[in-house]
Amino acid sequence: MILTLFVPEVILGLAAANLYAAMVNTPIAQRKAIEDGVPWTLSHTFFSNIGGISIRFPEEAGPPLSEDRSVPPAAAANNQKPARSASVARNRLWGINYRDPEYGPGVDLKLRHSWKWNRILGRAKKLNRYGEVDWRPHEHHRQCVSRLLTKWSALDRSERDFLDVVRFEGNVWVLDTKQLMIARDRGIIGSLPDLTEEQIADKDKGDFLVRLLAVVQVGWLFVQLIARKKYGYPCTTLEVTTAAFAVLALITYSLQWSKPKDVGTPHYIKADRVASVEDIEVILEAEPDVIYKHTGLCNISNASLPRPIEEERSSGFKSEFTSMVGIFILTNVVASAIFGAIHLTAWNFAFPTQNESTFWKASSVLTIAGPLWFYISEPLWRPEFTRWIEPYIEWPNSRFAAILYFCVRLLHYVISPVVFLAFFIGRLYIIGETFRGVFSLRPEDFQSTWAANLPHVG
């Protein structure tokens, strides 16, 4: 909700990156689906990327790959307790038993006191009030995770790595399209799910009528603004801001037209065998990028950026801007420019004071220029650029390189934070002035046009 109000371009960026990933992954998944004799469409890819397809591992599932049969017990690998009884296991959510103070991230004890770990504990307690979650600890997977955590602790992995791998302790795995293809190729599942597009549509809460009504309502708003302009009636800052949000919402709707909405019950696939340590590690490497982390066992974050199945991993600036994150950032820049340009249409509005008019214009320009500045200057902040230029500074007569290096540091530590702060203040001002303008409306602002007689909501 906060993102939608203050930075709606982030939602549009997520929609664009998710659509791109789905369009890239769907043809590859379709080839595999043809081999398995099952259907696969763009809706299937979207459905998988939002956590709609889960793998269930029964206790009697087949053994892992032969090279992994030497997995040591969890207690030996990580000095953890053996598997608990079913009554205790039912209370374990997110790979933990919040009732047991001794259970926690034993490999790296400092994580036990981290705010993220405490947030997971709190979320587990809340969910227990609503009944059992369809997730149980799986003894073999716990052993595999123990090995991975021990290995990663030695490599000084981050807290996020730990929180990501915890969910693979259980008997249910929620995977996106790329991870699902890996599970299929590695034999964890025998084939892709036999799921029709009609079955996906049945789970979709956002039916065609709801989407059509939203589009009609946005269209009515623009008809209203055009009619007011034609008859010489003034528009208010509230109408301009609403139009800006509506444009981004309309684009977002169009990008997500084939994406199921609010799917509450996933489609389960029965696993052919339990996973190995190598399986978990490979699937973790395919984890989608996230804008902000929402750790859970039976869901995929709404802020995730799925990766292409046949991803080309290369270093350098080009790969950064053609990746999912790069597409997300570029879309944010374009969306922010659209958002700011619409607010610039209020350039000649009659604001209560001249200062308010000046601040509105400056804030609208900052809305356009701020993200563009970060997009252009971002490559200069990267360590690769610094490592590239540092050798030249040691050369004789390298005054130009030294000046360039100084300018890059100045951009990174001084100018960019100032631009970010100005952008943040400008966005807050636009939102605040939008609502403040409601208290200084003129009589002509209440004049209606024929557009008010058109069918609409509100």
pLDDT tens track for 95-154: 444 334 334 444 344 444 555 556 655 655 565 555 556 777 888 888 888 888 777 654
- Per-residue pLDDT of the chain (458 residues), as tens digits, is 677 788 899 999 999 999 999 999 999 999 999 999 999 999 999 999 988 899 999 875 545 544 443 333 333 333 333 333 333 333 333 344 433 433 444 434 444 455 555 665 565 556 555 555 677 788 888 888 888 877 765 444 555 555 577 788 888 899 999 999 999 999 999 999 999 988 888 887 766 777 777 788 888 888 888 888 888 888 889 889 989 998 998 899 889 888 888 777 889 999 999 999 999 989 988 888 877 655 566 778 778 888 888 765 544 444 454 578 888 889 999 999 999 999 999 888 888 889 999 999 999 999 999 998 888 877 766 666 666 666 665 555 567 767 777 777 777 778 888 988 999 999 999 999 998 888 888 887 777 777 777 766 66
Which pair of structure tokens corresponds to residue 35?
Answer: 């081999």
pLDDT digit string, tens, across residues 411-422: 777 888 898 899
Provide the residue type at 430 as one letter: I
Identify the bridge partners of residue 305 per DSSP, sorted by sequence position: 289
Whats the size of the chain, residue-wise? 458
Of the candidates 54, 128, 124, 72, the one whose C-alpha atom is nearest the C-alpha of residue 94 is 124
DSSP letters along 158-211, please? -HHHHHHHHGGGBSEEE--HHHHHHHHHTTSSSS-----HHHHHHH-SS-HHHH
Cα–Cα dist 400/406, whole Å = 10
Helix boundaries (H) for 231-323: 237-255, 277-285, 317-322
CB 71 within 8 A of CB 277: yes
Dmax (CA) of the chain? 81
Neighbours of 111 (CB within 10 A): 17
Instruction: Please give the C-alpha separations between residue 288 and each of 11, 187, 241, in angstroms, as whole numbers.
Output: 16, 21, 33
Cα–Cα dist 151/143, whole Å = 12
Cα–Cα dist 125/138, whole Å = 21
Cα–Cα dist 98/118, whole Å = 10
Which pair of structure tokens corresponds to residue 30?
Answer: 């379709």
Cα–Cα dist 306/271, whole Å = 23
* Terminal Cα-to-Cα distance of the chain (whole angstroms): 21
Q: What are phi and psi of 289, to 5 degrees?
A: -70, 155
Helix boundaries (H) for 382-456: 383-393, 399-410, 416-436
Provide the residue type at 341 as one letter: A
pLDDT digit string, tens, across residues 415-457: 888 988 999 999 999 999 998 888 888 887 777 777 777 766 6
**DSSP designation for 449:** -
How are beta strands 267-270 and 53-56 bridged, if at all?
A: parallel
Neighbours of 395 (CB within 10 A): 9
Provide the residue type at 189 as one letter: I
Domain ranges of the chain: 29-202+264-305, 208-261+314-453
